[in-house]
Structures are given as C-alpha cells and as structure tokens.
Amino acid sequence: MGDLLWTIVLIPFLGSAILAVFGAFMPKKIAGTIACASIGIAWFLSIIVAIRFVETGTANVPLYRWIYVNGLHADMSLHLDALSMLMVGVVTFVAFLIHLYAAQSMYAEDGYSRFFSYMNLFVGFMLILVLAANLLVLYLGWEGVGLCSFLLIGFWYKDIKNVHAAQKAFIITRIGDTALAIGLFLLFREFGTLDIQTILSNAGRVLPFAGATAAVIGFCLIGGAIGKSAQIPLQTWLPDAMAGPTPVSALIHAATMVTAGVYLLARMHTIISMSPAAQLSIAVIGTITLLYAGFSALTQVDIKRVLAYSTMSQIGYMFVALGVGAWTGAMFHFMTHAFFKALLFLSAGIVIDSLGGEHDIFKMGGLRTRLPIAFWTFLVGSASLSALPFITAGFYSKDEIIWAEWSSQLGSIWLLAGGLLGSLITAAYAFRVVFLVFYGEAETEVINKPGMLEKLAVIVLSIFSIIAGFISLPKALGGFDPFGRFLSGVLPHQPAAAGRSGLTAEEVILALSSTLSILGIYLAYAYFKNRLASEALGLSPTGIRVHTFLYSGWGADKLYDRVFARPYKALATWNRNDFIDKFYSGLGALARYANHNLSRTQTGKVRNYAAAVLFGAIVIAAIVLLR
C-alpha cells in the first residue's frame, strides 16, 4: 500500500512537470488527456488504497529522510488513516471531474497546457497536505497550494485586475501562514518533534489543560486556518478570487484549498481541545462568518461572487462544528459541500460560457428551457446548498451541525440561533439566483452549448449532491451512520450536554431548520415575483445604504485599506531612504568607484604593464628581505 500511496501523490506532480516542459509543443487534446489522466489515475489508485485500508488499517509510509539536524527529525513520509483517506478520496474524485470539465471549457484559451500544469500541481500539493505524517511536510503542501492559487487566480494575467486579485489572495493568506508557522515553532519547542501522531498522543501529558501555552498554540493554528479558509477577519481575498477561470473557482472553493483550514483543525483536534477558549473562538468565528457571508451574498449580482460568499458561509458552518466538538459533522459537511459546491460552480460556468462570458444574474433569465442541463444541475446544487429536507446531501450534513450547536456540551442557544438564521439566508440567496437566471424573460442570447465532458461532470456531481447525505442519518430518521463509524477511530465523539439530548429535541430542531430552508426558498420566489416592489424598496435612502454596505462585504476592504494598507504604504514611502538602504547603496557606490579606477589601469600599453610587473616584483622582494 505504501508504494500506491506515494504514487497517488507523485502522479499529479509528474503530469504537471510533463505539461510544463513539453506542453507548449504538444496538441491541446494530448495536453488535456495527460492532465485528466494523471488525476484520474490518482483517483483510481485511491479507491484501491481505500479497499486495502479497510483490510489493514492505519499506515505510515516514509519515502526518505528529509531533515535530520539538531534534534529536528522530519521524514518525507505519509500517514494514512480514516481522515486522510476521506480527504484523498474526495479531493481526487472532485478534482478529476473538474479536470474533465476544464479540458473542454478551457480548450479555446491560450496557455492551455500551462493551465493544466498549474491544476495538476495544485492537486499534488493538496494531497501532500492531507497525507502528511508530520507538520513540516503538511506545511510544505500548505504553502504549495497557496502558490498554485496565486498562479491559477492570476491565470489571465494580461488583465491587471486578475493580477491584483491573485496578489491579494497570496498576501492575505500569508498572514495566516505566518501564524501557523509560529504555532509549529511552539509545538516543536514543547514536544521536541513535529510528528503529528506523536504530538496528538502526548498532548495531555505535555500541555496542561486550559493552560496559556495550549491557548497560544491553538490560536496560532486557528490563525492559519482562517487565512486559508477565508474566515473573518481574513476573508476578503475569496470573492476577488473569482477573477480566475471557473474550473479554478470550483477547485479552490470545493474540496481543496479553502477546506485546508478545516482539515488542519480536525487533524489537530487534540491540541484544539486542550484550550476551551481557542475552541470557543472557532465556533464564534464560524457563526459570524456564515452570517456575514450570507447577508453579503443576498446583494451580489455576479453569479460567481454569490457562490464565493456561499463558500465562505458553508465553511463557517464547518468551523462552528469544529468549535462545538462535532468533528465528524464538520468533515461530513466538508464532503457534501465538495460535491454541491463544485456542481454549482461548474453549472454556473456553463451558463457564463453559453452567454458569451456574462456574469450578471440580472442580464440572464429564461435559461430553464434553453440550457436544461445547466438548469437541473444548478437546481440540484442550490437545493443541496439550501438543505432542502430529506432529498439532498446538504440537508443531512447541515442538520448534524445545527443539532450539535444545541446538543453539544460546547453548544449554546446563540450558536443555534446563528445556524438557523444562516439556513434561512442560504436558501434565500441560492434560489434568488435560480429564479433570476433560469426563469422569467431572456435577457441575453445563448451563443454556446455545453460539451459532453462538461455535461458528464455536472451530472455525476448532481448524483452525489443527492445520495452522499444518506451515509449519515440523524437519530430522528433512523440513525444509520457508517460515515461516523468510519471516522470514529480518528475523531472523538462530543458528548451531549445534560438536558439537551433526546429524540424530541432533535426532531424539533430538524423541523425548525427544514421550515426555515423552505421559507428562504419562498422568500426568494416572492422577491422574484415582486421585483419592482423589491427594487423600489432598495432605492430608498436607507435601502441604498444597506445594499451598498452588504454589497461591499460590509466595507471590509475599505476598512483594511484605511487601517492597514494606506498607513503601511505611507510608512514605506517615508522610509524608502532609510539608513540601511544607504549602507547598501554606499557599498554599491564604493564598488563602482573601485571598478572605475581599476579600469583606468587598462591602458593597452605593454610598457606600462611591464613596469607594473617590475614594480610588483621589487615590492615582493623587499617584503621577503625585510622579514
């Protein structure tokens, strides 16, 4: 199994290298085939590894000794358990479908092989991240996906806005990465190792519960997670990341980069649990983010930005689950979200491409009959996102989180209220897009139709956006939970708080959550049927201010620009000629002066050279005689 595990990781890197070196000289069909085949093989091998994992269990697979100096021992090794197996299976499967879609949708673009080289590289680094046996290897994958996100978001680099979006994503996530790096230093200081399993098994012995050290380490890990997963206050890069091609948006926002923070916190759950303050902050951050992103999504006009804020909101739910100790619930929602969010982005991509690049949902309309595949697949994705009761995967995973917000020992009425309000908002903004894009009068002509690979990708994802939820049912619906049993050996179960458990309470919360989701869909329909009245309300002075506030992401970009960016730029401008620069510029001036004077000795006259040689010989002889 060890060889297969390393093969899964290395094949995407091999595909990336081939496309980077030879891609410019090969036909696009061959380049697309290589890209898709590398991820397809990785997915197929992950199935074989999963079968063997069920038979043999956890495995640690070293490749070679990487760092072995001054007490720091870090092998380039992989660790396979139920959590990493889940991540590998979802990442490779979703990435393969996105690659198939992109092979057709990106065919007319320049830089086709370069695009797929970046995509393969991205998947390779993500697999390193989720399979790493030690935190240094995990950090290698962590930084690798950050680099690839910069390359992919800025793929259309000739447009300066795309370059700025890529830079923004890279810089903001570096803030979180710095916090994570500090956390790794502290973990090494306390444990003397960065091996993940060693740290987890010794956490209770090395770190006192609720101690200051555990809190600092926990908050550093959280800092890294909120940067990658675009949670408040490091959330502003994600909507702008829509500058990249649609397959990039699907890959980053579905099962890969933005869920890396969720994986990190789940993987390090023992350390997080050692600090109640840190764990509570995760739940609070998640609740605030899911409401912030939900309200922002209600006002967006760009179909991809709606989905971007939706991603932020759904990861907020995952953070809430982590914060209340529902570790399995967070990973369950990760899995279902990977399917329906990739589906939504790819279906939106079909709409955008069919309308010649139009992103504005108010310039669409009437596409239900003209793009039936896009309509039905987007409808399935929106229903799953909205947690439409009983028939969608999103319903079962989100319900598990909402129930944990109340039943967990770490839950509260405030977290439950936030989760329920989020259900209402999510359904409203999701079906607002459905009604505006697919119903009503046509605003823009359809000029392209989706290809077979594009249709195949969205149809498969539609199926999983429905059936994936049935592997973990609430007790109120039978309690069938093979997913929870699969992860039980890795992630602990959070016991219920006294007086908050019970079938009746779960049924009430399930019914309330379902009712709010349906109410949100109705509100979206009412808005669509009464658009003139709704728009008139929005044109009032108060309506304009509220709309502008929400549309701008609550003014976060302006706030950060005034508080951080402008003062930093002013300081850099004022300090551009500081004494350190003068020291180095002085060294440069001295070198230039010496070069100028030495060059004057190169006269080209032989007698001058001979005189210089004779003078040097006399000086050397004098030194020898006078010693």
The answer to whether residue 82 sits within a structural domain is no
The answer to whether residue 470 sits within a structural domain is yes
The answer to whether residue 140 sits within a structural domain is no
What residue type is assigned to position 597 of the chain? N
Distances (CA, A) of 538 to 477, 510, 534, 543: 42, 33, 6, 4
The answer to whether residue 230 sits within a structural domain is no
Q: Tell me, yes or no, whether 520 and 596 share the same domain.
A: no
Residue 603 reports pLDDT greater than 80: no
Residue 532 reports pLDDT greater than 70: no
Assign 537 a pLDDT band (cuts: 50, 70, 90): low
The answer to whether residue 599 sits within a structural domain is yes
Q: Tell me, yes or no, whether 304 and 442 share the same domain.
A: yes
Q: Tell me, yes or no, whether 485 and 412 share the same domain.
A: yes
Residue 379 reports pLDDT greater than 90: yes
Question: How far, in whole angstroms, is CA 135 from its chain's centroid?
Answer: 18
Residue 138 reports pLDDT greater than 90: yes
Contact 62, 77 (CB under 8 A): yes
The answer to whether residue 409 sits within a structural domain is yes
Q: Tell me, yes or no, whether 495 and 611 share the same domain.
A: no
Q: In the prediction, which pLDDT does 501 show?
A: 64
Least confident of 179-188, 250-259, 461-470: 250-259
Q: CA-to-CA distance for 432 and 299, rounded, in angstroms? A: 10
What are the pLDDT digits (tens) for 155-178?
Answer: 988 888 889 999 999 999 999 999
Q: Which of 300, 305, 289, 401 is nearest to 344 (CA)?
A: 305
The answer to whether residue 359 sits within a structural domain is yes
Pick the last residue of a domain from 468, 495, 529: 529
Q: Tell me, yes or no, whether 587 and 495 share the same domain.
A: no
Q: Tell me, yes or no, whether 492 and 611 share the same domain.
A: no
Q: Which of 224, 246, 239 is nearest to 152 (CA)?
A: 246
- Measured torsion, CA atoms of residues 170, 348, 395, 552, in degrees rounded to the nearest 10: 50
Q: Tell me, yes or no, whether 485 and 355 share the same domain.
A: yes
* 369 φ, ψ (degrees, to nearest 5): -95, -25
Q: Tell me, yes or no, whether 393 and 506 share the same domain.
A: yes
Q: Tell me, yes or no, whether 469 and 596 share the same domain.
A: no
For residue 354, give its domain range: 292-529
Q: Tell me, yes or no, whether 582 and 508 share the same domain.
A: no
∠ CA 466-450-161, rounded to 5°: 95
Q: In the prediction, which pLDDT does 210 show?
A: 82
Pick the last residue of a domain from 529, 548, 569: 529
356: enclosing H helix or E strand: none
Q: In the prediction, which pLDDT does 243 show?
A: 86
More confident residue, 610 or 173: 173
What are the pLDDT digits (tens) for 484-522?
Answer: 899 988 988 776 665 666 668 888 899 999 999 999 999
Pick the last residue of a domain from 503, 529, 555: 529
The answer to whether residue 320 sits within a structural domain is yes
194-205 mean pLDDT: 91
Q: In the prediction, which pLDDT does 380 show?
A: 96
Residue 601 reports pLDDT greater than 90: no
Q: Which of 223, 238, 227, 229 is nearest to 260 (CA)?
A: 229
Q: Tell me, yes or no, whether 515 and 589 share the same domain.
A: no
Q: Tell me, yes or no, whether 500 and 598 share the same domain.
A: no
205-226 mean pLDDT: 92
Residue 130 reports pLDDT greater than 80: yes
Q: How many domains does the chain have?
A: 2
Assign 291 a pLDDT band (cuts: 50, 70, 90): very high
